[in-house]
Amino acid sequence: MPIHDVGYRPWNGEKTPQFSRWWVICETGIRLAAKSRWVRRILFVAWLPVMYWGVGFFFLEQALDADSQSLFSIVDSDDEVQLESVEDFKNEAQQLGRNAGRMEIRRLLGRRFSMFPHAEDLAKSLETGDPEIIRNDIWRWLLMVFFRYPQSLLILFLIGTVAPALISRDLRSRAFLLYFSRPIGKLEYMLGKLCIPAAFIMAVSTLPALALYLFAIVMSPSLSVFWSTWDIPLRIIGATIALVLPTSAIALMLSSLTQESRFANFSWFAVWALGHGAWLAILLATSMGMKKAPFHPDVLASTQVQNWSVLSLYNCLGDAQEFIFGFERFEDVWRGSLVLVCLTLFSIWILYRRISAPVSV
Amino acid sequence: MSLISLENIVKNYKTMRALDGIDLNIEPGVTGLLGPNGAGKSTLIKLLLGLVKLTSGSGTVLGQPLGSHGRRVRNLIGYMPEDDCYIPGMSGVEVVQFAACLSGLPKLEALRRAHEILDFCGMKQERYREIDTFSTGMRQKVKFASSIVHDPQFLILDEPTSGLDPEEREALLTRIRMMWTQLGKSVLISTHILPDVQAICDEVVILSRGKIRLCESLEKLNQTDAPSYQVRIDENESEFLSAMLQLGFAATTTEQKDLVFESDDPQFGEKTWQTALLTGTRIHSIAPVKNSLEGIFMATVEDATDAPEETNANS
């Protein structure tokens, strides 16, 4: 019972701008999705790799800096040495220190991370080059691997949990009338819904990647490192866009095709698993033909495996990310990128039609 | 200014003609929209909300032209759909707050307003429960609250009383009537429950097979061709009838054994009481005879059914 029932009173306050209405849909969707215990668990797990990468950045900066520092200390302690020779020795020691750090990183890349793409190229590039360029290369590579491996898999599960219900639930409970009987357009509804999986993707990829970048800056010997790595935040944002648009659009399209969210859920995982499974089968067949291990660089570089790589959404996204992080040329990834663009546009078209259908009949 | 003004509205769904040359003028007030299933009521409502495009014709709602200003019209209208139409996982008050936010109320103000409107709708602490657990009646209340939370000028209510118990139905009808009488908000009710229309509407529109078959004020519809009175008596029927006949009032008897006198004599009431006194008859009730809305509806719909088929878009 209300303490004081004022009855019905007219309301004539100031309304929010029309362009902000999509945010209401997005915010409510995020809040509802975050109520799920599974979503919260996946979010927690999704931040665990950040710790590993954080440790990686820490040791990387230590390796780049530690040996030179120890040699500097020897040089600095000897005040009696002639100035010119000290300068010479200092330069030499700095070079030795850098080389020692680089050797350590090279050894790690060559042994522990050789299964990741471009690890060996990166290891070779450590032998020569400007240290600032090497730092930029390694940071980009670490973040690319971060996006491509742990976060991609976690995003697959996170979106598989969040997105299937977003439209199918509205179709089942006929909640679309709640939206469209108000001053909300179909595009605003779509934008609001697309931003829900996008927000979760950003929460487990963009935010941790940017946090890692800031951590790496703090760990580096000088804040001036920012000037040699300023492009990395932009690459992170670019990789996020490449990840968010196709995944959100496909997930919502599948959700809009059914009133049962479990079917959308199943379809989501099927799209990823079947495509990647088909490519793996081709990879295996090729490797048997070449009598080499399935993930041998020669097998991966073979024309057949490269051509059929577009079957796998995972590979397409990986190609796009490698291009954005600067490890592939566009000529090598255009097929995957084209597939992503086409899939995104097709999904949005289907989504729009499915949203329009219940209202127009 | 008319509330709704439609001129020769046609709406086709591929080969099916849902609305066939609708001309309609509705003045502010409470209007009942009646029609059998498939008559085109939902299409007409969606058209008023700007959700479907016209095939041809023109019109205005609240002075806004149809078709081009859908959002502006929906800003002024509160719509209560027939379907359940809720978002699982939200509490009752959250649904109403969400509806208010979608209509442009700031978040905090929307929450305050949601509570105020739920109080007005008679919803108590159950508003904090998840809407999935609500009974049909409670969902109806939430839907009604959602439709008025942004203080619209015009309400479109689709089957507002379905699933409500008699007490709740009475309360909701009172609230709807109050929206017009005290707050000046016009209401269009689409329903199959004719007593609801009889109870609160000023005007009735009957739609059948995509055409407006009747648009008239309820007051006029209620009037019989000649003034008649229905008299219910308990005893001495024959003596009473012969005495009335001597005064020139012939009667017919209804199925419920009530007597119906057709008379335009302004002193009919007084003469009836005097006759009852003289014959020792106890009068239970005297009431003017009204046309039954159900009868009018059935006759109108039957006429429409007898009319030749005109609903094919290609014809």
Residues A47-72: tens digit of each pLDDT: 998 888 888 888 777 776 654 454 44
- The CATH number covering residue B147 comes to 3.40.50.300
Q: Could you tell me the two tokens for B21? A: 């040359």
Cross-chain residue pair B83–A177, CB shorter than 8 Å = yes
* Residue B143 and residue B239 in one domain: no
Cβ separation of A181 and B74 shorter than 8 Å?
A: yes
A114 in any annotated domain:
yes
Check CB contact of A191 with chain B, cutoff 8 Å: no
Q: Which residue of B has its CA nearest to A172?
A: B85
Residue A192, pLDDT > 70, answer: yes
pLDDT digits (tens, 9 = 90+) for A323-336: 999 888 888 889 99
Query: Rounded CA gap, A94 and A69, in Å?
Result: 8
Higher pLDDT, B282 or B84: B282
Same domain for B148 and B35: yes
pLDDT of residue A182 exceeding 50, the answer is: yes
Instruction: Give yes or no: residues B20 and B153 share one domain.
Output: yes
Answer yes or no: is pLDDT of B242 > 50. yes
Rounded to whole angstroms, how far apart are CA atoms A142 and B195?
73
Nearest to B152 by CA among B75, B93, B98, B85: B75
| Mean pLDDT, rounded, of chain A | 84
Provide the domain count of chain B: 2
**Does A121 have pLDDT greater than 80?**
no
Token representation of residue A244: 């968010």
Residue A79 has what pLDDT?
47
User: How close A348 gets to chain B, by Cα (Å)?
Assistant: 20
B193 plus B232 within the same structural domain = no
Query: Quick check: is B300 in a domain?
Result: no
Q: What is the CATH number of the domain that holds B247?
A: 3.30.70.100
DSSP letter string, A180-201: HTSS--HHHHHHHHHHHHHHHH
Question: B213 and B242 share a domain?
Answer: no
Q: Is A296 within the bounds of a domain?
A: yes
Any domain includes A7: no
Is the pLDDT at B253 greater than 90, yes or no? Answer: no
Give the mean pLDDT of B72-84.
90
Residue located via tokens 């797990």: A45
Query: Does pLDDT of A77 surpass 60?
Result: no
Domain count, chain A: 1
Best probe of the A interface among B87, B132, B185, by most A CBs < 10 A, is B87
Whether A76 has a pLDDT exceeding 60, the answer reads no
Residue range A271-300: mean pLDDT, rounded: 88
What integer pLDDT is reported at residue B312 of this predicted model? 52
Please tell me whether residues B147 and B265 are part of one structural domain. no
Report the alpha-carbon distance of residue A82 to residue B103 in Å, rounded. 80
Give the model's pLDDT for residue A98: 58
Whether B121 and B240 map to the same domain: the answer is no
Coil/strand/helix, residue B293:
helix
Residue A113 lies in domain:
18-360
Among A227-236, B267-276, B292-301, whose mean pLDDT is lowest?
Answer: B292-301
Ranges A76-90, A153-167, B82-96: which has the least confidence: A76-90
Domain membership of residue A219 (yes or no) is yes
Same domain, B132 and B277: no
Range of the domain at B113: 4-219
Q: Are residues B215 and B182 in the same domain?
A: yes
Residues B59 and B189 in one domain: yes
B271 within a domain of the structure (yes/no): yes
Note whether residue A6 is domain-resident.
Answer: no
Q: Examine the domain organization and report whether B64 and B153 are in the same domain.
A: yes
More confident position, B135 or A72: B135
Q: What is the pLDDT of residue B104?
A: 93
In chain B, the residue whose alpha carbon lies closest to the alpha carbon of A7 is B120
Q: Judge whether residue B32 has pLDDT over 90.
A: yes
Q: Please judge whether B84 and A174 are an interchain contact, meaning their C-beta atoms are less than 8 angstroms apart.
A: yes
B215 and B262 fall within a common domain:
no
Cα–Cα distance for residue pair B308/B206, rounded to 1 Å: 18
pLDDT digits (tens, 9 = 90+) for B140-196: 999 999 999 999 999 999 999 988 889 999 999 999 999 999 999 999 999 888 889
- Residue B171 within any structural domain of the chain: yes
Q: Work out the percent of chain B whose per-residue pLDDT is above 90.
A: 40
Which residues of chain B from 106 to 135 reach within 8 Å of chain A, CB to CB?
106, 109, 113, 115-117, 119-120, 124
pLDDT confidence of residue B146:
95
Three-state secondary-structure class, residue B77: strand
The pLDDT of residue A96 is 56
- How many CB atoms lie under 10 A from the CB of residue B183? 13
The alpha carbon dihedral of B160, B164, B165, B171 has a sign of: negative
| pLDDT of A257 higher than 90 | yes
- Greatest Cα pair distance in chain A: 93
Mode of pairing for the β-strands spanning B154-158 and B186-190: parallel
Tell me the three state secondary structure of residue A297.
Answer: helix
Q: How close B312 comes to chain A (CA, Å)? A: 16
pTM: 0.81
pLDDT tier at A128, thresholds 50, 70, 90:
low
